[in-house]
Structure 1
Amino acid sequence: MAAYMAQRIIDGVYSYGYVIDRRPDLKEGIDTYLTDNGHANLIEGSE
């Protein structure tokens, strides 16, 4: 589920904040997927 939601963030369907607010249990998996796929810039709060 984390990979699916991360891909939806990449596709622009959902914002990172929206997903994490509703599914904080998926945060680690989403962060890993975004980082591994070159989209760490989409992680809110990262520099």
Structure 2
Amino acid sequence: MADYMGQRIIDGFYTYDYVISKRPDLKTGIDAYLISQEREDLITQ
């Protein structure tokens, strides 16, 4: 689920802040996915 949500953030469908506010339990996985895709610029906070 974290990889899927990370990809949706990359695609611009969701913002990072919105996803983390709704699913804080996925933060670690989403962060790891965004970093692996070289999109750590999308990680805010």
Give the TM-score category using the shorter length.
over 0.9
> Stretches of 4+ moved more than 4 A in 1?
none
Where structure 1 has 5 or more consecutive residues not aligned to the other structure, the ranges are none
TM-score by length of 1: 0.94
- Give structure 2 stretches of 5+ with no counterpart: none
Structure with a larger share of its residues in helix: 2
Q: String of CA shifts for 1:5-30, please: whole Å, max 9, x gaps.
A: 00000000000000000000000000
How many angstroms does 1:2 deviate by?
0.2
Percent identity of the aligned residues?
Answer: 60
TM-score by length of 2: 0.98
Paired residues in the alignment total 45
2 CA distance for matches of 1:29 and 1:16? Answer: 12
Report the counterpart of residue 17 of structure 2 in structure 1.
Answer: 17
